[in-house]
Amino acid sequence: MLAMAAAELGFACHVYTPEPDSPAAAVAAKAVVEAWSDSAALAHFARGCDAITFEFENVPIATAEFLAQRRPLYPGPLSLGITQDRVSEKSFVAGLGIPIAPFAPVDSAEDLGPALGRTGRPAVLKTRRFGYDGKGQAKIDDETDPAAAWEAIGAAPAVLEAFVAFSREISVIIARARDGSLAAFDVTENRHESGILATSRVPASVDDSTAAEAVAIAGRIASALDHVGVLAVEFFVVGDGPSSRLIVNEIAPRVHNSGHWTQDAATASQFEQHIRAVAGWPLLSPRRHSEVEMMNLIGAAADGWPALAAEPDAHIHLYGKAEVRPGRKMGHVNRLRPPGTGSAWGGRDRL
Amino acid sequence: MLAMAAAELGFACHVYTPEPDSPAAAVAAKAVVEAWSDSAALAHFARGCDAITFEFENVPIATAEFLAQRRPLYPGPLSLGITQDRVSEKSFVAGLGIPIAPFAPVDSAEDLGPALGRTGRPAVLKTRRFGYDGKGQAKIDDETDPAAAWEAIGAAPAVLEAFVAFSREISVIIARARDGSLAAFDVTENRHESGILATSRVPASVDDSTAAEAVAIAGRIASALDHVGVLAVEFFVVGDGPSSRLIVNEIAPRVHNSGHWTQDAATASQFEQHIRAVAGWPLLSPRRHSEVEMMNLIGAAADGWPALAAEPDAHIHLYGKAEVRPGRKMGHVNRLRPPGTGSAWGGRDRL
């Protein structure tokens, strides 16, 4: 989706990926399949680029630094380094005075007792690195043996977080240009199933002041990271209405699944904003023109595309991944309705 | 733009083109550069496709028929054959009882006198085939030597059309699915310079009944051709207000430059509608969400992209063509404004 946004703006996109059959390769001017650690291939790739970006945050930091020495790389290694490690990410956010859930690093089974003393129960144990879509996570409640949770996540360096009793989850997708200017999309309300994003709805069921605060926090984080490109900040909303509080859950230094609705319901997508920022262009002023529900097509759900294709206001995006696997994101659909149809999506209503 | 719309829907696109450096190749899963007449290459290409379409109407009819015998080809050879020849196109439209300007075929310099007797002066002499963007056209007014006009268009088989004193030019972009269902975009108002489309604006300055009539005519033409895919019909509007009349100027059996605004100002683009029709999917119900002016970037005008990139509501599309040439379409920009800002674009106002 980034490669296509780049092509629309006239850029010839070169893709570097360790994965054969990358969907991006099918829509890029050039693609090479090489390892993250192959310096010769990386150097050759860099020589062929004017600017470099990444689409997921698990690019090794050494690879990012190698490329950043040769060509403008946005977002920079700082954004990548901080968000690759949950402890450094949480420390960074907390250091900005932004509310997050109590947490403690856990480097061994022995650390778990003191960490639970800090967070209380229930709590969630998460690997520090390479976790996504609910992988590498284990909940610890009153009945859980902490040692079993430690084994469940693979006995890897971890962080324990207090479980937040939230009323809803929201996210802010914000773009930051090279000159520091910011442009945020409307706040998005997210629902997860089994740790994987299931739906995103806009407008979110939060009051205006909560939405404005979320956007302001996302802007502070992006600026503090000197981030260039799109950044996503996921929040827990605790309580309801004007007295609700926001807690930052997670940061992603990239375009984000909860921003996929912008492709069809806003005048500019997160993908175009990201490419503009990376290329040093000014940002657009995206305006949301429709109400929208984004639904992920996970695993075999993608086989339901014919019914979705028959809905006159359902905008389907299929990624062209060769193999359907359980839990794998195969595509998404943005269901639109005209603005003002409802004040918000509310509880569990569906289009 | 078609290839990217197809990729969004999960299709792997194969491009067949006689042109090296085709911009489509950079966003397609596969591209081959071969001649239109190379049967072996065409047969190989067809074997690799589930359905085939074209992006311009000058594909030789023999090529289209060769492919149509092997795979579903949409639009079919009928749409292509009729619209490749201005005389057959005009006869076809006139045969449906739809108003067009008086015309006469001109196969030799000797035909010009009787033809002018039928059309009167001023008139426009156009080659029957392969004309586009004002190429192969010559106006004949009171001072013109008809023989000079005949030479000017290359002494090729031609058609003479009565010059229409129009108040404005509009077009309808309509999609027709395999099951015959239709979906039209809002009527577009076009301004040409030197025979090349300069701008398209929506909403058009025509009253509702004129707009509805234009859409109805486009639907009749699409249905009569048994067209599958997007079709563009260009009209002259004669007179103003409710008493204005519509005259069909030209048909294009494909996505059309005057429909490029749909990429940014409607909930579905002409490109997606075309791919859906070709693939046998149902059509979407596109809704225009913004007022829009599409401006073509022709020749060196594309060098003005930095100023356009700095406009917060200007959506730039650059085609990645390697060489800037005078009169060559290098890209376009869609300038948006919220709906209801003005009732129509009016005379020569600009965003």
Percent of chain A with pLDDT over 90: 89
What pLDDT band is residue B348 in, cutting at 50, 70 and 90?
Answer: very low
Of B10, B267, B285, the CB nearest to A318: B10
Residue B301 contacts A, CB cutoff 8 Å: no
Whether residue B351 is predicted with pLDDT greater than 60 in this model: the reply is no
Of A26, A282, A310, the CB nearest to B7: A26
Question: What pLDDT is stored for residue B347 in this prediction?
Answer: 44
- Distance of alpha carbon A89 from alpha carbon A105, whole angstroms: 12
Q: Provide the shortest C-alpha distance from residue A174 to chain B (in Å).
A: 15
Residue A192, CA distances (Å) to A99, A168, B100 in order: 22, 10, 58
Task: List the single residue in B with minimal CA-CA distance to A334.
Answer: B267
Q: Provide the shortest C-alpha distance from residue B309 to chain A (in Å).
A: 6
Q: Do A315 and B268 touch (CB under 8 A)?
A: yes
What pLDDT band is residue A345 in, cutting at 50, 70 and 90?
Answer: low
Q: Which of B207, B267, B266, B216 is nearest to B237 (CA)?
A: B207
Residues of B within 8 A of A309 (CB-CB) are: 276, 281-282
ipTM: 0.92
- Distance of alpha carbon B117 from alpha carbon B101, whole angstroms: 14
Stated length of chain A: 351
Give the number of A-B residue pairs with CB atoms closer than 8 Å.
Answer: 105
Of A13, A28, A331, the CB nearest to B10: A331
Residue A119, CA distances (Å) to A101, A104, A140 in order: 8, 8, 11
For A33-87, write each residue's pLDDT tens digit: 999 999 999 999 999 999 999 998 889 999 999 999 999 999 998 999 999 999 9
Q: Do B282 and A312 touch (CB under 8 A)?
A: yes
Mean pLDDT of chain B: 94
- Distance of alpha carbon B109 from alpha carbon B144, whole angstroms: 14
What pLDDT band is residue B141 in, cutting at 50, 70 and 90?
Answer: very high
* Helix, strand, coil percentages, rounded to 5, for chain A: 30, 25, 40
Across A26-30, A230-234, A338-342, B296-300, least confident range: A338-342
Question: What pLDDT is stored for residue B341 in this prediction?
Answer: 77
Q: For the whole model, what pTM was predicted? A: 0.94
Q: Which of B193, B202, B188, B294 is nearest to B237 (CA)?
A: B188
Percent of chain B with pLDDT over 90: 89
Whether residue B345 is predicted with pLDDT greater than 60 in this model: the reply is no
Residue A33 contacts B, CB cutoff 8 Å: no
Q: Are A160 and A106 in contact (CB under 8 A)?
A: yes
Residue B276 contacts A, CB cutoff 8 Å: yes
CA B250 vs. chain centroid, Å, equals: 8
Q: If you average pLDDT over residues A182-204, what whole number do you get?
A: 96
Question: What is the DSSP secondary-structure string of B76-143?
Answer: -HHHHHHHHSHHHHHHHHHHTT--B--EEEE-SGGGHHHHHHHH-SSEEEEESSS--TTTTEEEE-TT
Percent of chain A with pLDDT over 70: 96
Task: List the single residue in B with minimal CA-CA distance to A333.
Answer: B9
Whether residue A304 is predicted with pLDDT greater than 80 in this model: the reply is yes
Residue B27 contacts A, CB cutoff 8 Å: yes
Question: What pLDDT is stored for residue A343 in this prediction?
Answer: 54
Residues of B within 8 A of A3 (CB-CB) are: 27
Of A264, A284, A305, the CB nearest to B267: A264
Written as one letter, the residue type at A311 is E
Residue B26 contacts A, CB cutoff 8 Å: yes
Q: What is the biggest distance separating any 2 CA atoms in chain A, rounded to whole angstroms?
A: 57
Q: Are A198 and A295 in contact (CB under 8 A)?
A: yes
Q: Pick from A4, A22, A27, A303 the residue to mutate for testing the B interface (most B CBs within 10 Å).
A: A27
- Distance of alpha carbon A99 from alpha carbon A195, whole angstroms: 22
Mean pLDDT of chain A: 94
Top-confidence residue, A93 or A323? A93
Question: What pLDDT is stored for residue A351 in this prediction?
Answer: 39
Its sign, for the CA torsion B281, B285, B190, B3, is negative
The position carrying tokens 């609700």 is: A244
Residues of A within 8 A of B9 (CB-CB) are: 316-318
What pLDDT band is residue A181 in, cutting at 50, 70 and 90?
Answer: very high
What pLDDT band is residue B318 in, cutting at 50, 70 and 90?
Answer: very high
Question: What pLDDT is stored for residue A349 in this prediction?
Answer: 44
Task: List the single residue in A with minimal CA-CA distance to B29.
Answer: A26
Residues 6+ apart with CB under 8 A from B44: none
Q: Are A270 and A256 in contact (CB under 8 A)?
A: yes
Of A4, A268, A312, the CB nearest to B27: A4
Q: If you average pLDDT over residues B116-130, what whole number do you get?
A: 94
What pLDDT band is residue B342 in, cutting at 50, 70 and 90?
Answer: low
Whether residue B151 is predicted with pLDDT greater than 50 in this model: the reply is yes
Residue B156 contacts A, CB cutoff 8 Å: no
Q: If you average pLDDT over residues A194-204, what whole number do you get?
A: 95
Q: Which of A298, A323, A297 is nearest to A308 (CA)?
A: A297
Residue A163 contacts B, CB cutoff 8 Å: no
For B230-263, write each residue's pLDDT tens digit: 999 999 999 988 889 999 999 999 999 999 999 9
What pLDDT band is residue B343 in, cutting at 50, 70 and 90?
Answer: low
Question: What pLDDT is stored for residue A132 in this prediction?
Answer: 67
Question: What is the DSSP secondary-structure string of A63-119?
Answer: HHHHHHTTS-BSS-HHHHHHHTSHHHHHHHHHHTT--B--EEEE-SGGGHHHHHHHH
Whether residue B134 is predicted with pLDDT greater than 80 in this model: the reply is no
Question: What pLDDT is stored for residue A322 in this prediction?
Answer: 84
Question: What pLDDT is stored for residue A348 in this prediction?
Answer: 41
Whether residue B183 is predicted with pLDDT greater than 70 in this model: the reply is yes
Which span out of A78-82, A148-152, A230-234 was modeled with the highest average pLDDT? A230-234
Residue A26 contacts B, CB cutoff 8 Å: yes
Q: Do B318 and A29 touch (CB under 8 A)?
A: no
Residue A78 contacts B, CB cutoff 8 Å: no
Residue B282 contacts A, CB cutoff 8 Å: yes
Of A4, A281, A284, the CB nearest to B4: A4
For A112-122, write each residue's pLDDT tens digit: 999 999 999 99
First and final C-alpha spacing in chain B: 25
Question: What pLDDT is stored for residue B57 in this prediction?
Answer: 85
